[in-house]
Structure 1
Amino acid sequence: MKQSEIIHLAKQEGLLLSEESFKINESGVDFRVAHATDLQGEKWILRIPRQKESMRHAIIEKRALDILSGNVTFQVPRWSIFTDQLIAYQQLDGVPAATIDMEQQVYVWELDEQNPPEEFYRSLGKAMAELHTLDTELLKDAGITIIEGKDMRAAMKERMNRIKQHFDIHPALWERWEKWLANEQIWPAHSGVRHGDLHPGHILINEESAVTGFIDWTEVSVGDVSFDFTAHLQIFGKEGLQKLLDAYGAAGGRTWSGMAAHIEEVKAAGAIVVAEYALVSGLDEMHKMAIQMLGASE
């Protein structure tokens, strides 16, 4: 969709945007994201679905955001426009901790990724703890997926089997997953509200590298909160994960003795998420990525 078409869509909803202010980010799988300023100088974020399937969770995401916005202290988007072709909200304070350079396929950071400031860890741990300990009853009527602690291993086994019906999985990878399922000691006994796609591009920070909010809640659910730590482990390694877990626990996040080990196994099962999306979206590039990931030993 061209810039002029996006501006026209916004105009139809009463939002008049400056053409000169437009900047489009193409890194999202489900949505193009445009940054723009209206005629009064207010900054806006516009999300344009890449395909019809991109909107599969949109109404659920909106319900969840409406609930979260009144129950957490960090910022979340509040959608002013919500149609089949356009989602728009006023830009939140802060900037993404990193954005993806599409040509180089690397993160461009707003902080020192080699040595993230203590304030980043402190504030990220605090925000995640607040989210994960939120009363799940608040979201019971939002339509989001809810998996209780006692059902987590069975739900994961079901997902594994479903993927195995459609893809070849490396025997060593499958064996690792089965050992993980059998190791009840490292699984959490509780569930919590989770973002579901918490990577640096969805974490907003201020000039002091303090976390101000989270964006892009397409995968919000109630379940195993460990999934929200996997991107951090991928980027910052075990040492960075431990720093975050320390900050998380200090802020009231619920931890358990096998948490770090469990997060490592969740990360090793990341191909399941990619394969599931490949099946839902029908995208050839996602299918190829899933085949590659599932064919590796780890």
Structure 2
Amino acid sequence: MKHEEIIQLAKQEGLLFTEERLKINESGVDFQVAHATDLNGEKWILRIPRQKESMRHAAVEKHALDILNENVSFQVPRWSVFTEHLIAYKQLDGVPAATIDMEQQAYVWELDEQNPPDVFYRSMGKAMVELHTLKVDLLKNAGITIIEGKDMRTAMKKRMNHIKEHFDIHPALWERWENWLANEQIWPAHAGVRHGDLHPGHILINEQSAVTGFIDWTEVSVGDVSFDFTAHLQIFGKEGLRKLIDSYEAAGGRTWPGMAEHIEEVQAAGPIVVAEYALVSGLEEMHEMAVQMLGAEE
């Protein structure tokens, strides 16, 4: 959607912007995102769905955000506008830890990605603990997916089989997943509220690189909290993961033997998420990506 179309869409909801005060971010799969400043100087985030399917979790996300806003100390969006064509909220304090340069297909960082400061790890661990230990009962009527600890392996097996019905999976990759399911000792026994897509673009930091909040809660659910560690592992490696787990534990997070190994296996199962989205969205480029990822030997 072009600048003038977004401005008109926002105007229908009482938000007034000009083209010179609107910047579009095209990196999102589900949503086109615009950063805009209104005539009063207030900064806004506008999310425009790329297709009807992009809004499949929106009502659930809105309900969850309303609850989170009342029960966590870190920042989360508070939607002022929620229609089938537009989601809008006032910009939160801080900036994303990184944004994606679409031309370079790489992150542009707001912190030292080679050596993230201790304050980043401490604040990240603290915020994650606060989220993961939130009382599940608060969200039971929000419509989010809830998978108890005892059901995690069964649920994952069901997802694996569903993908296998639609895609060819490299035998070595399938064997790795099967071995992971069979290794009960490294699986957590507990579930928690999880963000579900905690990559640097969804993590807000201040000038000191301390985490101030999380955005884009499309995948919020209750289940295996390990999923919130996988992006960190992918970007910062095993040493970075160890630092985050140490900070998480120091903040009161619940850890378990084999946690790091389990997170590595969750990351290796990442192609399942891509394949699931390919099936739901019907997007050819997502299907091609899933085929490539599922056909690669681990």
TM-score category of the 2 structures, normalised to the smaller one: over 0.9
Are 1:59 and 2:59 matched, yes or no? yes
Show the 5 A alignment for 1:12-31.
Answer: 12-31=12-31
Q: Which runs of 5+ in 2 are unaligned?
A: none
CA distance in 1, matches of 2:267, 2:19: 41
Say yes or no: does 1:210 pair with 2:217: no
What is the count of residue pairs matched by the alignment? Answer: 298
Query: How far apart, CA to CA, are the structure 2 residues paired with 1:116 and 1:48?
Result: 32
Percentage of matched positions with identical amino acids: 84
Q: How does 1:158-173 map to 2 (within 5 A)?
A: 158-173=158-173
Secondary structure (helix, strand or coil) at the match of 2:147 reads coil
Mapped to 2, the partners of 1:267 and 1:235 lie a distance apart of 11
Alignment partner, residue 256 of structure 2? 256
Per the alignment, in what secondary structure is the counterpart of residue 17 of structure 2? coil
1:124 to 2:145 alignment: no
2-structure distance, mates of 1:189, 1:258? 12
Matched with 1:75 is: 75
Deviations 1:19-49 (A, max 9, x none): 2111000000000000000111000000000
User: 1:16, CA displacement in angstroms?
Assistant: 1.1
TM-score relative to the length of structure 1: 0.99
Distance in 1 separating the partners of 2:290 and 2:12: 39
Residue 69 of structure 1: SS of its match in structure 2?
A: helix
SS at match of 1:166: coil
Report SS of the residue matched to 1:108.
strand
Q: Please, what is the CA RMSD of the aligned residues?
A: 0.5
Output the amino acid matched with 1:235.
I
Q: Secondary structure in 1 aligned to 2:4? A: helix
> Deviations 1:265-293 (Å, cap 9, x if unpaired)?
00000000000000000001100000000
3-state SS in 1 of match to 2:36: strand
C-alpha distance in 2 between matches for 1:72 and 1:251 = 15
Q: Distance in 2 between matches of 1:26 and 1:213?
A: 22
Match for residue 136 of structure 2? 136
Q: Distance in 1 between matches of 2:5 and 2:103?
A: 25
Cα offset, 1:297, TM superposition: 1.3
Query: C-alpha deviations, 1:176-223, integer Å up to 9, x for none?
Result: 000000000000000000000000000000000000000000000000
Partners in 2 of 1:229 and 1:48 — Cα distance? 28
- Measured in 2, the distance between the counterparts of 1:153 and 1:147 equals 10
State the distance in 1 between where 2:129 and 2:175 align.
32
In 2, the alpha carbon distance for the partners of 1:254 and 1:70 equals 23
Q: More deviation in 13-22 or 88-97?
A: 13-22
For residue 11 of structure 2, what is the amino acid of its counterpart?
A: K
Cα distance in 1 for residues equivalent to 2:82 and 2:189: 37
* Secondary structure of 1:99's aligned partner: strand
State the match for 2:272 in structure 1: 272
Amino acid across the alignment from 2:199: H
Q: CA deviation at 1:258?
A: 1.1
- After TM superposition, list the pairs within 5 Å mapping 1:137-216 onto structure 2: 137-216=137-216
Cα distance in 1 between the residues matched to 2:2 and 2:171: 45
1:287 matched residue in structure 2:
287
Task: Name the SS of the counterpart of 1:168 in structure 2.
Answer: coil
Q: Give the whole-Å Cα distance in 2 for the aligned partners of 1:79 and 1:252.
A: 30
Distance 2:7 2:86 in 1: 10
SS of 2:71's partner is coil
Output the CA distance in 1 between the equivalents of 2:25 and 2:8: 18
